[in-house]
Amino acid sequence: MRYEPVTGVQPEIFRWARVSVGLSVTDVAAMLKRDPEDVAAWEAGTKAPTYPQLETLAYQVYKRPLAVFFLPSPPEEQLPQREFRTLPDADMQTLARDTDLHIRRAHTYQLAFRDLSKSTFDDLIADQRIWWGKTGRTFPFRKRFRSELGELVPTTVWIAPNPGDLVLDSFAGSGTTGAVAHKMGRRWIIVELGEQCHTHIIPRLRKVIDGKDPGGITKAVDWKGGGGFRYYRLAPSLLEKDTWGNWVINRDYNAAMLAEALCKLEGFIYAPSDTLYWQHGYSTESDFIYITTANLSHEQLEQLNDEVGPERSLLVLCTAFRARADLYSNLTIKKIPRQILSRCEWGRDDYSLRVENLPSAPPQPGQHGFDFGQEDS
C-alpha cells in the first residue's frame, strides 16, 4: 500500500523535536533506515514523511505525542518524553493548561486531516477552503459549504427585510430565492436571462402558489399556497450602432414600442391620443410628449407649435431637426439617440443604470444653433 505524505506539519516542529532529544540528522536517519537527505528535507519543508513514518518518528525516535507535530509552532514548554496515553493522571496535571489545550486541538486537527493527501490539501488551500484563523497562524479548519442553496436563503431573507419588503435576485438560477421569499411573505423581483426561466423558474413558482412545493421551508413557515406573480420579457436594447459606429434606434422597435419606451425614460405616462397625432403620453394635464423617427423641418415644428398653443407644453423627441430649438415657445425639442444616451451610465458594473428624469444642465454658450442631426464633436 502506498501512503501519501502527511500535510499540515510545520518544518520547525521536526527540527525542534530532534534538537530537544539531542539527536543529529544522521542519527535520526539511521534509526529510521532512511537517507539523511530525506530527514533534512522534512525539516526544510521541501518534503514530508508518510503517516507511518511520522508515527515512528513521534513514538520511537522523539518520544513525543503524535498530536504535538500538528501544532502551529513549537511549544515553549518542555513536554514529557513519553507517550501521553501511558502517563498517569498525576503527570498529566503537571502540564500547563495552555499546552494541554494546544495538544487537544492539534489532536482534533490530526484526526480531521489524516486521510487527506498532500495534493488534496494543496487544492483546498488554493480554493480557499482552509482557514488559518484571524492571525493566519492558528490551527487550520476546513470550510464546508451547504450543497442546497435553499437552506441558506431563508436565513439571508430573515436578516434583512421585513414581511412585505422587496427581495431582489439578479441571477435567479432555478428560482430558489423567489420561492423562499414568496413563502416568507416577501415581495420579490428575480431576473434570469437563460432558458431556465421557462424550464425551471415558472413551473417551480406555480407549484409554490398552488401549495404543491413541499421542499425548503414549507413546513417551517406552514406554507399552504397563495399569491401570484407577473412575468415580463426583457425588451431588446433601444439603441444599436450602425455601420459607421453611430448610435441609432434598434430596428427591432416599431413605432408603438419606441413611444412607450421613451415615455417611461422621460417620466411620462404612455397614453396615445386617438385624435391628436402628437400626444403619445402626458406628465400633467397640460404637458405632453411627442415621439417620431422623422427629420423635422422648421415648417413642421412651427405648425406643431401653433397646434399645441400657449396653454400647453410639448416635449418633442425626434431623430433630427433642421431649425433652432429656441424658436418655439411651446416646444422642447430633443434628439432621440442623444436623449437616450443621456439617461444611461455606460461602462458601469454596479447596477447603477439610471433612467429617472433628472434636471437637465443649462445649455452651454454656442449650443443654440441649427441642428442638422449631427452629434456634437
- Mean pLDDT, residues 126-155 taken together: 67
Highest mean pLDDT among 6-15, 136-145, 236-245: 6-15
H or E stretch covering 333:
strand 331-335
H or E stretch covering 189:
strand 187-190
- On the question of pLDDT at 30 being above 60, the answer is yes
Domain 239-342 top-level CATH class: alpha beta
Highest mean pLDDT among 140-149, 304-313, 333-342, 363-372: 304-313
Q: Cα(291)–Cα(253) distance, rounded to whole angstroms?
A: 13
Q: String of b and e for 233-246 (b: at least 16 CB within 10 Å)?
A: eeeeebbeeeeeee
Q: Cα(77)–Cα(96) distance, rounded to whole angstroms?
A: 8
Write the pLDDT tens digit of every residue in 158-171. 666 677 888 888 88
Q: What is the pLDDT of residue 103?
A: 65
Q: Cα(198)–Cα(168) distance, rounded to whole angstroms?
A: 19
CATH code matching the domain that covers 146-234, chosen among 3.40.50.1100, 3.40.50.150, 3.90.1150.10, 3.40.190.10: 3.40.50.150
- On the question of pLDDT at 328 being above 50, the answer is yes
Q: Cα(224)–Cα(202) distance, rounded to whole angstroms?
A: 18
- Mean pLDDT, residues 4-9 taken together: 80
pLDDT class of 96 with cuts at 50, 70, 90: low
Kindly tell me the sign of the dihedral angle through the C-alpha atoms of 211, 214, 217, 223.
positive
3-class SS of residue 370: strand
Write the pLDDT tens digit of every residue in 264-278. 888 999 999 999 999
**Beta carbons within 10 angstroms of residue 153's beta carbon:** 21
Q: What is the pLDDT of residue 228?
A: 93
- The CATH number of 11-142 is 1.10.260.40
Domain boundaries, the chain: 11-142, 146-234, 239-342
- Indicate the residue type of 49: P
Q: What is the pLDDT of residue 368?
A: 35
More reliable by pLDDT, 172 or 108 = 172
| DSSP per-residue codes, 95-123 | S-HHHHHHHHHHHHHHHHHTT--HHHHHH
- On the question of pLDDT at 88 being above 60, the answer is no
Q: What is the pLDDT of residue 113?
A: 62
